[in-house]
Amino acid sequence: MSTTRPRLLTAFVLATLVVVATAAAQEKYPSRPIDVIVTWGTGGGADSMARQIAAT
């Protein structure tokens, strides 16, 4: 019983360090332009929504 708490604390600290390290290593998203491909016709609802999202 006395070794359970330090092991859990150690596991928690290591897991936290791994998450922080991977988050710090990532580059800003997106690092390059994203192509949006709409397979439906021009002027439709999907096309209009894709154009609005791409404008932001």
How far apart are alpha carbons 40 and 56 in whole angstroms? 21
Prediction pTM value: 0.43
Q: Going by C-beta distance under 8 Å and a sequence separation of 6 or more, which residues neighbour residue 36?
A: 50, 53, 54
Report whether 38 contacts 47 (CB < 8 A): yes
Range of the domain at 32: 4-55
| Total structural domains within the chain | 1
pLDDT at 2 over 80: no
Q: What is the mean pLDDT of residues 31-55?
A: 89
Q: Higher pLDDT residue, 20 or 26?
A: 20
